[in-house]
Structures are given as structure tokens and as C-alpha cells.
Chain A
Amino acid sequence: MSVKYTKDHEWVREEGGVYIVGISTHAAEQLGDVVFVELPEIGKSLSKGDDMAVVESVKAASDVYAPISGEVVEINQAIADEPAKVNEDAQGAAWFVKLKAKDASELDTLMDEAAYNEFVENE
């Protein structure tokens, strides 16, 4: 399945029945050097749009929102230990959480890559 994006610069991608969520490369660039990442607890139930994580750069702290509703099944402890990874590989190794989706049809409301790129251009 292809990557989907939110207007708040989260990405989500399905892999083996779970949904991997992170922040876009564009967002990571805008934030500047990330110095702190706070991740949710495993098992936490999130509704679409809920505060899911916090990412802090030298400039400011930003909330990361859940792009779809679901339960947190895995978190990427590596980025909490080493926040610099978010700047290095935001859309790869520096994923934030894996969600068990509550309603996969919520993905239909999100943007595909082309639409997201266009959205960023016009922002």
C-alpha cells in the first residue's frame, strides 16, 4: 500500500496488517534539529486527530496527531533514545508508532504523495 499523508504532516503506511505512523521529511526539515521525542504508551487507544506524540526541536515543541483511530501496538524507542534519527530518516527508520487500525476506511480521507507534495507547495 502506498503512503498516505495528513495536513498536519504525519504519514501512515500499512505493513503486515498494522499501520506505521511518522512525520514527513518536509516536517522534519521545518522543525530543525529534533532534540526530544515523547511517545505514547503501548496499548493506548487513540481517536483520529488525538495527540499521539510530542516532538521538540530547538525552536519549539509540536504535537504529533494520530492520523487514524487505533491502538498503539508498538513504539519506536530508538527515536526517543536518539531524536536525531528523526532528522536523518523521517519517513523510514524514524517511524513513531505502529497502530492497529480501528477503521481502515479512515485512510481514504488522507492525501496520497502527489496530493501532499502539492499541499506542501501551496502551504
Chain B
Amino acid sequence: MTMNNQGRPSRADNAALISTPTFTGNKALQIEELLSFEIGSISQTGVDIAASTGNVDRLGGLHRDDDIGLPGLSEPETMRHFVRLSQKNFAIDMGPFPLGSCTMKHNPRLNEKVARLSGFSDLHPLAPQAAVQGALELIDRLAFWLKELTGMPAVAMSPKAGAHGELCGMMAIKSALDARGEGDKRKRVLAPESAHGTNPATAVQCGFKVEAIPADATGRVDLSALKEKLGDDVAGIMVTNPNTCGLFERDIRAIADAVHDAGGYFYCDGANFNAIAGKVRPGDLGIDAMHINLHKTFSTPHGGGGPGSGPTVLSDALAPFAPVPYVVCENGIYGLVETRRAANAETAGVDSMGRMTAFHGQMGMFVRALAYMMSHGVDGVRQAAEDAVLNANYVLARLKSEMTPAFDGYCMHEALFDDRFLEGTGVETIDFAKAMIDEGYHPMTMYFPLVVHGAMLIEPTESESKRELDLFCDALLSLAKRAKAGEVEPFKAAPIYAPRRRLDETAAARKPVLRWRPEGDI
């Protein structure tokens, strides 16, 4: 034989598992990442360009002599720093992301492929309209389907995110009230106690005063309490449907009628539209304005992969006040209306609210959202809503045995639990959520909505398979059982396996460290 002397141990021996701190602080490929300021040095530079000579000082002696204090890193160091940081992120592409009211659904790769076509991705917002007819047509077509799915006559495409869409809707309401001459009189906006925090914030931003509508025992708007609060000083209401308790507001038609009878407008927060898209048209419910989060319902990426996009559909009463610019089509030629006052006789004397953004909206998100719609079809959009609701009810039914649902009955797209099942265990919602991190899950939305004590709001979306849902439910059931069995310590210590353990949120809020300073610099 030919002798190969490269034999080496090729399986683990039976040595006891030991865990000792490493010299570098790294845990295998989990790198203990420093700040770029700590990796590089302000005395180094990543580029090698000779200092320029012979420059004439044209700053009158005001040029800077001292260092600006940026760290110098080489290109590989820079690359590795940011790639490693990105790997510390958790994303929907890595696992279930059950963050309630956020609709963290899969972002299909087809959307990405289409959005990267150079005819879309290389557009300039100031390109001549004749050169971007296809892009304008895409905006118009997406607008058409958004109007179709919501049963509303108009849509403002420019808002850049959900809260921005809320702002658009409330500014339209404000404009309509001003046009009626009632802007100074109607100052109150009503919103349920379970509302997203952005609702009251938006209303206040528009100069309204917010009043809470109490919930009834089933977690829905208390209709009689709402009626008592209505009057000729009410500008409108802001209601999320399905609401943040994961429940459909069954009285929504009666709510709309009551508000309209009182002379107010009905703003609907469309954050949870995924639960009803293709099933219910908000226009049929008497809604005057509703934003649609393209990054939720229509699968465009959230956050870092975003940006978001919040087109806002408007009723006939509010449509004349839609912001500019918007796309119009005449004789097959697409164009943009850029001026504030529409030259249309029908709307003469009625002003658009003006411009909310410099340009037309989030083009990349429009492409992705339309790709989602076209690939799913109307029946597919409806099935997504049905599957999302089915998945949430599956989670609700499976977790019921160990966890406590906040309300009786079926839910819509998200299952809401309170902390009654943890009573007396010493474990709180926050500990339970942190323990989920150790199990490899991004925690659900916790302590929201505020109307439920120690709330845990789980939205699985339609993206998860039954196998994935079962594993998730089994993990939560096991945690709940362990908590009830008196295993408090692992919960209080959680997360144990994350790169960082429990952080001091109080200290972070009271004494935030917002910038790096060189050692010795206070």
C-alpha cells in the first residue's frame, strides 16, 4: 500500500463538555464585535492617498487643522465589521418572527428579483415623465388594486410608512373640516384604549385632542360609551380593525354610522389589513381613510430591508384633499399632478392638503407589492388572509392548555394572551419573552396592547408551515410548564445563550450612552 500518514482524530472523543471563556471573547464563529472606533484608530486611514500639496487656502484661514476623529479601517476590516453586525440581526429569513400587529411575513424572492430590474431600480425621481411611463403605469396599477381591494375611490401613494399614512389620513380629515368651516370647532379625536401608540400621536400632531374609548368585556369598542362621547366637537375616530387584541370590531358599521351622524370622519388603522384583505372591503364598512402597510400586508420588507410604505385610501368625502403628487392617465399617457389646486371643475375651490413628500413614494416597495399581488392573484390574497387567521387560531387553540387567552372565542390574525398563567410563579411576561430567545425565537409583542395585563401578542402570519407552528407551540408549552413547575431561575437569567444577556433597560433610558468617546474624554 501507499502509506498516508495524515490520519487524525475524526470524531469527537468522550471528553466531558467543558465551557471555558475564550482568550478573544469570541464563541467559535460568534464574534465579539467591537465598535468601528475600537477596531480602527483615528491615527490610521483605510485609504492610501498622498496628502495634497500646493493648495491655495480659499477659506480665509478657517480650514480645519485637527483630526475629525473618524476611525481608519481597511476595506476588509470595514466589510467584516458590517457583515458580522448584520449576522447578529434576527430576520424573517432566519426564523419565525411572531411580533403581533407587525405582520412579519415572508418576503418572496420574486419581489426582489423584479424590484432589481434596472428599469425600476435605476429610476431617478426627476426623470422626464415621458421616459418613465412604465414606472408611472406601475404606480397607477398598484393604486388600482389597492382601491379595488379596499373598495375606496382614491388612494394617496406617497406616504412613506404606516404612521406617515395615518398622518396623511388625519391631515385629509383636518383639511375636510377646514373646508367645511368646522376646523376650529371639531377638535376631539376618539381612539380606543388598545390603539397603536401612533394613533393618538398622529392626532396630536394634527392639533387634535385625543380621548380614549373604553373597551367592552369582549375586547372591542364599547359602542354605547362611544356614542356618549360623540358630539359636534368631534373631528373623528381612529379604530384599528381587526383591533390590536386580534379581534374583529363587529359593530364597525354602527360605529361608522354613529360617527358620521355626529358629523365626524372615520379613520381606520390598516396595520392589520392582512387579516381581511380579499375578504372585507373597508369602503363597505363606512371608513373614510385607511393606511395600508405595504411592508405588512403586501410582503415588502420591514425595517432595515425596507423602507416601509403606507399608501392611504380615501373616501369620496376626503379624496379631494389627497396630497400631491399623484399619477393620472389620459389617453394612455401617464402623468403626475404636481400642483396643489386641482384644475378640475368638480373639485374647484377645494384644495389638496399639499405635498407630504418630495417625490412620488417608495418606488421599490410599489414594485414589490405589485409583484406580490400579481403572483398571488385576488384569490391568493384572500387565501393568505384566511391562512393567517387559521394559523393564529391554531396557535391560540394549541397554547390554551397552558397559557391564558385574554379573551374568549376565536381570534383573527393574532392570538392574545395575558399573564394569568404565570400568576404566583415569579416569572413575568418579560422573563417568558427572554426565555423564548434561548429557544431560538424572536419574542412576540409583549406588554401591548395596554388593556391586557402582561400581554403577549402572537401573530404567526400565513408564512409558517404546520411543522414550524407545532415546534413553536411545543416550545412555548414547555416554557409555560417549566415556569409553573417552579423553575424561576432560568427565566430570570434569560437569555442565557444570546450574545448579550439581560440588558438594563432602565439605565439605558436614564443614562443613555449615545456616542463613542476616546478614552479619557468625558
Where the two chains meet, the residues of A that have a C-beta atom closer than 8 Å to any C-beta of B are: 33, 35-36, 56, 58-60, 83-84
Contacts of A60 in B (CB 8 A): 447, 450
Q: Complex Cα distance A60/B197, Å?
A: 10
CA distance A59 to B505 in the complex (A): 10
Flag whether B345 is at the interface (Cβ < 8 A): no
Interface of B is mostly: helix
- List which B424-460 residues lie within 8 A (CB) of chain A: 447, 450
12 more A-B contacts (CB under 8 A) besides A35-B510, A56-B509, A60-B447?
A: A33-B505, A33-B506, A33-B509, A35-B506, A35-B509, A36-B509, A58-B505, A58-B506, A58-B509, A59-B447, A83-B510, A84-B510
**What count of chain B residues pass the 8 Å CB interface test?**
6
> How many angstroms from the CA of A59 to the CA of B448 in the assembled complex?
9
Contacts of A35 in B (CB 8 A): 506, 509-510
User: How far is it, in angstroms, between the C-alpha of A83 and the C-alpha of B509 when the chains are bound?
Assistant: 11
A36 to B508, CA, bound (A): 12
In Å, the complex CA distance between A60 and B201 comes to: 13
Look across to chain B and name the residue whose beta carbon is closest to the beta carbon of A35: B509
CA distance A83 to B511 in the complex (A): 11
- What is the distance, in angstroms, from B233's C-beta to the closest C-beta of chain A? 15
Query: What is the distance, in angstroms, from B190's C-beta to the closest C-beta of chain A?
Result: 16
When distances are taken between beta carbons in the complex, the residues of chain B under 8 Å from A58 are: 505-506, 509
Whole-angstrom CA separation of A73 from B447 in the bound complex: 36
Identify the B interface with A (CB < 8 A).
447, 450, 505-506, 509-510
Chain B residues positioned under 8 Å from A36 (CB to CB): 509
Beta-carbon nearest neighbor of B505 in chain A: A58
Measured between C-beta atoms, what is the minimum distance from B446 to chain A in Å? 9
Closest CB-CB distance, B429 to chain A, in whole Å?
10
Chain A residues closer than 8 Å to B447, beta-carbon distance: 59-60
Kindly provide the distance from the CB of B33 to the nearest chain A CB, expressed in whole angstroms.
Answer: 25
The 3 closest A-B pairs by CB, nearest first: A35-B509, A33-B506, A58-B505
User: What's the Cα separation between A35 and B504 when bound, in Å?
Assistant: 12
| Cα–Cα, bound, A84→B510 (Å) | 9
CA distance A84 to B506 in the complex (A): 9
For the complex, what is the distance from the CA of A107 to the CA of B510, rounded to whole Å?
35
Measured between C-beta atoms, what is the minimum distance from A24 to chain B in Å?
Answer: 18
Give CA–CA (A36, B509) in the complex, Å: 8
* A7 to B: closest C-beta gap in Å: 13
Subset of 16 A-B contacts with CB under 8 Å: A33-B505, A33-B506, A33-B509, A35-B506, A35-B509, A35-B510, A36-B509, A56-B509, A58-B505, A58-B506, A58-B509, A59-B447, A60-B447, A60-B450, A83-B510, A84-B510
Q: Which residues of A contact B506 (CB under 8 A)?
A: 33, 35, 58
Shortest distance between the CB of B464 and any CB in chain A (Å):
28
CB distance from B15 to the nearest CB of A (A): 44
Q: Which of the listed residues B450, B505, B506 has the most CB atoms from chain A within 10 Å of its own CB?
A: B506
Which of A36, A59, A84 has the most CB atoms of chain B within a 10 A radius of its CB?
Answer: A59
B195 CB to closest chain A CB (Å) equals 13
Chain B hits for A33, CB < 8 A:
505-506, 509
Residue of B nearest to A59 (CB): B447
Q: Which residues of B contact A83 (CB under 8 A)?
A: 510
CB distance from B61 to the nearest CB of A (A): 42
Task: Please indicate the chain B residues that have their CB under 8 angstroms from the CB of A59 in the complex.
Answer: 447
Residue of B whose beta carbon sits closest to that of A62: B450
A84 to B504, CA, bound (A): 14
Whole-angstrom CA separation of A56 from B505 in the bound complex:
13
Contacts of B450 in A (CB 8 A): 60
Q: Give the docked Cα–Cα distance between A46 and B509 (Å).
A: 29
